[in-house]
Amino acid sequence: MEYDIGAFVQSLIGLRLVDVLARLQREIRDHEGLIAGGHRGAPHYRSVGVPEYVAGLKDLSFLLHTGGKPDSRYARMDLYEPLVRSLVGTGDLKPMALDVFSSSS
């Protein structure tokens, strides 16, 4: 299995904020379980990028909950912007939510 945060974020576009947050939290929980110390396959999942995938998901969660830019090396603002634009389009987020992208470099 490939852990592609871009594909996951794309799958969220068009959903309402409440559904995005629910799917995001479920994805975080499910994948954190794979890398937990007591999980039998944890070393394998760590070696194939699951920790980075989970970190990116948590950054997206931070962005959606606070409106602030995550301070993380895993933050993929370029991938998060289309989702936030979609949520602005549905009225779930205010247009000012896009301001964080104009200051990202």
Total structural domains within the chain:
1
Q: How far apart are CA 48 and CA 63, in angstroms?
A: 25
Q: Is the pLDDT of residue 1 over 70?
A: no
**What does each C-alpha distance from 82 to 10, 14, 27, 98 come to in angstroms?**
8, 10, 19, 10
Mean pLDDT of the chain: 93
Comparing C-alpha atoms, which of 85, 87, 76 is closest to residue 18? Answer: 87
Angle 45-51-55 from CA coordinates, rounded to 5°: 155
Which residue range(s) make up the domain with 29?
A: 5-102
Whether 84 contacts 98, CB under 8 Å = yes
Q: Is the pLDDT of residue 9 over 60?
A: yes
Q: Is the pLDDT of residue 54 over 80?
A: yes
